[in-house]
Amino acid sequence: MAPATSRLVDRGRTAGRLRISMLSAEDYVRRVKRATGLEVVVQEGGRVIAESLPRATATAGRRLPAGGDVELAGSTYRLVGFEAPGFEGGSVAIRLLGRDPDTSSRAIVVAALAGFLLLAFSFALAVSRSLQAQVGRLLDAARRMSRGDFDVVVPTEGDDEFAALGSEFNQMASQLQARVQELQLERARLQDAIRRVGESFAKGLDRDALLDIVVKTAVDGVGADCGRAVVQDGDGASVEVARSGDVSARRVALEEVEAAAASSARAVEITHNGTSALAQPLSSSEGEHVLGLISVARASRPFTEPERELFNYLASQAAVSVENVDLHETVQRQAVTDELTGLFNHRRFQEVMALEIERTRRFGSDMGLILLDMDDFKKVNDTYGHMQGDLVLREVARVLRESAREIDEPARYGGEEMAVALPQTDLDGAYRFAERVRRRIEALELPILDGERPGTLRVTASFGAAALPSNEDAGRDALVAAADAALYEAKRSGKNRTVKAG
């Protein structure tokens, strides 16, 4: 009687419903009779399922009215009745009977009320236990969530507040699980970014490696499909030095946005055939020139404002890093380069000579060397001034660079004296090289910087050529001394000539 209903759940799906009553019809009859002294009859669907009447006066299946007087086995009873909920949506009829015809109606009513209260108490008890079960499930689910288990599902039954609470709880668990997954993904990205920052410290002076890290970080940071970095070579042409993802699939959009960013000298975003692309110039700190460009692209959706801000930040930091690399390379170059001629300085020349001679000994090759000295250079300075002398040295240095191979090392040895280290070159090869340079210097026609003097200036130089044969164990000093002696002989013999050592 007064059943409560609970849904049976198997792995998140409804497997059935359980209806249970905490009070049987027989117990109800006994309790009401004990409390009121009245006879009790419980009927369901016209059938008696429990009664307190003695067998001799039993109703024998007779359907009793809801009120009034009724005669059973020769005895008259006054009765009152009411309906109570039963199983499967049905109801049960409860009848209270007083045997004494003089029993007061008030006593019957009081008895009926007591029976109804007993029934209500039983129903409340069943509901309370059902609520306790639902609260217990919610509490268990909350404890599991506190341990990080977001797969928990709370059963939702019916349309009451507990069902709504369970539904909200399940939705919250699902949202938390999705958020945890997003945080795990963000954590992985952060770890990767930290790893790349560490790599950038190790590669801080390698421009291409640094830009490779920046491009990969930008692609991941803004959720792009691909990206790349381009810089300008010595001829002003754009050269790709780093990429991430399939650039070929978005090449048209990348080239379009890079052209727009280069011409405007600022960050630009464009959309081309469904592809969104971002590009930002890598400008110097003073903004005087563009060091390169970084661009990213993706299909299906444009970039958001936070993504654009992150990309601009990364590009700005990359510009600072690239400028620092350029500055470092400039300082390094200045440390080994003669400022006036652009050739290696004396210190760098000595280092190169030591390395090349060591390589010669290791691999059994020849090593050539020429020394040259400008003829009558002091007279040039005294007659035309030191600016004219500087022009002469720069033009002679240009001839040396243009005449040398990639493996040769021209240097300013000191004053108006210059040298060229010639790896893998024997004495005859060194002599031919010196003669070729001598003739080109002799053919120079240099403008006179003093505007008051008409005509052009012609200069000559003397050369000494020496070589370190592969079968000799002489060192750097011996080779330089041999070339210097040959140069002295060329000067003593009349200048503007080449003399072989030995």
Joined tokens for residue 153 = 């599902």
Where the chain has pLDDT below 70, the residues are 1-20, 22, 55-61, 89, 100-138, 141-142, 145-146, 148, 150, 152, 154-163, 165-166, 169, 187, 189-205, 234-236, 285-288, 451, 470-474
CATH number of 4-143: 3.30.450
298: closest CA among 270, 277, 269, 273? 277
- Per-residue pLDDT tens digits for 72-101: 777 788 877 878 777 776 788 888 878 765
Counts for the chain of helices (H) and strands (E), in that order? 11, 19
Beta strands in 117-272 (DSSP E): 226-232, 238-244, 268-272
The bridge status of strand 290-299 relative to strand 275-283 is antiparallel
- In degrees, rounded to 5, the angle at the alpha carbon of residue 382 between the alpha carbons of residues 376 and 386 is 100
Compute CA distances 308 → 214, 260, 276, 362, 480, whole Å. 15, 16, 12, 56, 60
pLDDT given for residue 202 in this prediction: 43
| In the chain, domain spans | 4-143, 203-325, 346-500
Distance CA 63, CA 92 (A): 12
Burial status of residue 404 (CB atoms within 10 A of its CB: 0-12, 13-18, 19 or more): middle
Tokens read off for 165: 């609470």
- In terms of phi and psi (left: phi > 0; alpha: psi -120 to 50; beta: otherwise), the region of 418 is beta
Write down how long the chain is: 502
CATH architecture of 203-325: 2-Layer Sandwich (3.30)
CA distance 417 to 371: 7
CATH topology of domain 346-500: Alpha-Beta Plaits (3.30.70)
Q: What pLDDT shows up at residue 176?
A: 76
Which pair of structure tokens corresponds to residue 116? 């109804």
Calculate the alpha carbon distances from 1 to 4, 53, 83, 131, 272 in Å.
9, 20, 11, 18, 73
The separation between CA 395 and the C-alpha centre of its own chain, rounded to angstroms, equals 53
pTM greater than 0.75? no
Q: Tell me, yes or no, if the two domains 4-143 and 203-325 fold the same way.
A: yes
Per-residue pLDDT, 459: 96
**Rg, the chain, Cα only:** 52
Q: Which two tokens stand for residue 332?
A: 């390094």
User: Distance between CA atoms of 300 and 257, rounded to whole angstroms?
Assistant: 17
Number of Cβ within a 10 Å radius of residue 337: 17
- With residue 429 as reference, give the H or E element that holds it: helix 427-442
Burial of 467 (0-12, 13-18, 19+ CB in 10 A): buried
- Cβ of 191: how many Cβ atoms within 10 Å? 10
- Please give the Cα distance from 357 to 423 (Å, whole number): 8
Instruction: Write down the pLDDT at residue 34.
Output: 83
The Cβ of residue 188 has, within 10 Å, a number of other Cβ atoms equal to 11
Say what angle helices 25-36 and 105-146 make with each other, to 10 degrees: 130
Asked if residues 278 and 267 have their Cβ atoms less than 8 Å apart, the reply is: yes
Q: What is the pLDDT of residue 44?
A: 82
**Amino acid identity, position 36:** T
- Please report, for residues 212, 266, 307, the alpha-carbon distance to residue 293 in angstroms, rounded to integers and kept in the order given: 12, 10, 17
Query: Which two structure tokens, joined as six digits, stand for 281?
Result: 């110039």
> What local confidence, expressed as pLDDT, does residue 395 receive?
96
Q: Which residues are catalytic?
A: 416
| Residue whose pair of structure tokens reads 């004494």 in the numeric block | 100
